[in-house]
A and B are shown apart, each in its own frame.
Chain A
Amino acid sequence: MRNSETAISIKNLTKFYKKFQALDDVSFEVKRGDFFAFLGPNGAGKTTTINCLTGLSNYQNGDVRIFGYDVTADYLHSRRLIGLCAQEFNFDPFLSIYQLLVYQAQYFGITPGEAKRRSNALLERFGLTDKRNCKHRALSGGMKKRLLLCRALIHDPEILILDEPTAGCDLELKFLIWDYLAQLNKEGKTIFLTTHYMEEAERLCKTIGIINHGRIVHIGDKKYILQDRSLEEIFLEITGSE
């Protein structure tokens, strides 16, 4: 890796959807091994930022790097380092969940034998082994969430990007995901999380960034941000929400 200490570097990122400015000169860094919460109201620019990081969106201006690799010019390197757990259930309807993971691993250059081993291990870890031959349509919402996580982790990425991973989950699954993410972070994975649950961010994250109307309005270490007030109070004050 070109830069081993800065996992994500975004400088002066500007993104328009036609005339609507979704991101306005966004700049911030996420250190290697950090657990970064990226917060903001709906439409603030969280998912757009993630899409720019992962190469799912073009942008008009700025410099976006993953461990020093430019996400546009060096996309073959940067994409190997990222695992994305998206908001929506976007699975290939023709494949069983096991086939889906095996193919996904191979897209990342993992040999078929290793892809099968990893797929089995992740399905086991997330309690989906008995559903391995089912298509994703046969899974419950919670199981699909787990499958999204499996797919994001199949190539053992350095950075895990999670776009509202626990939205719509029951308590049991939420705690399972929290424990797993905390464990992954402890093992050295950099985690970039967006969420609307302040409790989730407070509990899991080390660094917190808040975006509103496409601009970064607050960023810093959780310990200093939460010295005398709750994250919810700070969030409401900064974003002007009621």
Chain B
Amino acid sequence: MLHLITNPIGVLALSKREIHRFLSITNQTIFPPLVSSALFMYIFGVAIGSRVNFSSTGLSYLQFIVPGLMAMHLISSSYENTSSSLFIGRWHNHIQEILLSPLSYIEMVLGLLAGGVARGMVVCLGVGAISLFFIPNNIAHPLALLYFMTTIAVIFSCAGMMGALWAEDFGMLSIWNIYLIIPLALLGGVFHPLSMLPVPLQIISHFNPLYYLICGIRWSMTNTGDTPLAICAVVSLALASLFFIATVYLFKIGYKLRT
């Protein structure tokens, strides 16, 4: 039987523990993506971007890449948080603290998810805040931004948990991020609009789900995008639902959690 929320104190405690975990190591979890974003903005946005003719998008190059950087770090931070937390829990076996407790499987996933979503959002907004040193940046659609940030963080927090359950060692843990998620994010339009690609690559890019997620963030920030907003919104919600359900299912069957 799949129980919903029966233990709100427990879920809240697990959420707090997950947030406490990444806040206790901010030098590893928060500052590195902020530093690298500042460098990206300076090098690509200021030094190189000022020489790129970007008039077709109606944005400066820096204005274009800031939402892309926000999305990229939202994706990687959410993934890294849940994957490392759950994998370390399995590695040290303190995941038993949760598995022995009267938390339903949905509650376990929600509690772990909270850390990934919170870290992703902190980093994403941090990147947005850093961009203010380079460009005046008004958020065109704050509610849409919240929607896309939340759904994207849920997708990749769940993906992180799935990766942590699948992985047998630390090497396997980072495989998905290095070889799949980051390449798809970069090819999904972090640094370039689709219209700059040859037509065959433009068509292929439409099969990259991360393109729609990045597009959604960019539209929320700048009110411009290559694809209708509704499509981006539906894709992100569908993926978030799918990944959440799949993760709860893995907890329910005890995939690599129970012997």
Interface residues of A (CB under 8 A from B): 17, 51, 54-58, 73, 75-77, 79-80, 82, 84, 86, 88, 90-95, 99, 103-104, 106-112, 151
Pairwise interchain contact A106-B258, C-beta atoms closer than 8 A: no
Does B92 belong to the interface (CB within 8 Å)? yes
Residues of A within 8 A of B25 (CB): 94
- Chain A nearest CB from B87 CB (Å) reads 13
The CA-CA distance from A21 to B219 in the complex, in Å, is 58
Chain B residues near A (Cβ < 8 Å): 1, 3, 6-7, 9-10, 12-14, 16-17, 20-21, 24-25, 88-89, 92-94, 96-104, 254, 258-259
A55/B258 in contact, CB under 8 A? yes
A56 with B7: CB separation less than 8 A:
no
15 A–B pairs (Cβ distance < 8 Å), ordered by A: A51-B258, A56-B99, A57-B258, A57-B259, A91-B94, A92-B94, A93-B94, A94-B25, A106-B10, A107-B10, A107-B97, A108-B101, A109-B10, A110-B9, A112-B13
Among the listed B21, B24, B103, B259, which residue makes an inter-chain contact with A107, where contact means beta carbons less than 8 Å apart? B103
Residues of B within 8 A of A151 (CB): 97
Flag if B97 contacts A94 (CB, 8 Å): no
CB distance from B74 to the nearest CB of A (A): 23
| B96 lies within 8 A of A109 (CB) | no
Give Cα A108 to B14, complex, Å.
Answer: 11
Q: Known: A51-B259, A56-B258, A58-B258. Is A90-B94 also a contact (CB below 8 A)?
A: yes
Report Cα–Cα, A55/B96, bound state, in Å. Answer: 10
Could you tell me if A107 and B98 are in contact, using CB atoms closer than 8 angstroms? yes
Instruction: List the B side residues contacting A106 at CB < 8 Å.
Output: 9-10, 12-13
Nearest CB in chain A: distance from B108 CB, A: 10
Taken together as a complex, chains A and B put the C-alpha atoms of A111 and B13 apart, in Å, by: 10
> Which residue on chain B has the smallest CB distance to residue A22?
B259
Smallest beta-carbon distance B252→chain A, Å: 10
Q: Is the CB of A58 within 8 A of B259?
A: yes
**Inter-chain contact B259/A108, CB cutoff 8 Å:** no
A50 to B20, CA, bound (A): 31
State how many angstroms separate the Cβ of B64 from the closest Cβ of chain A: 38
Bound form: Cα–Cα A58–B13 in Å: 26
Report the minimal beta-carbon distance from B65 to chain A, rounded to whole angstroms. Answer: 34
Residue in B17, B24, B102, B254 whose beta carbon sits within 8 Å of that of A108 in the complex: B102
Given contacts A55-B100, A56-B258, contact A76 B12 (CB under 8 A): no
When chains A and B are docked, how far (Å) is the Cα of A110 from the Cα of B101?
Answer: 12
Q: Are B104 and A90 neighbours in the complex by a CB distance under 8 Å?
A: no
Contact indicator A109/B9 (Cβ below 8 Å): yes
Pairs A-B, 3 closest by C-beta atoms: A106-B13, A107-B101, A90-B93
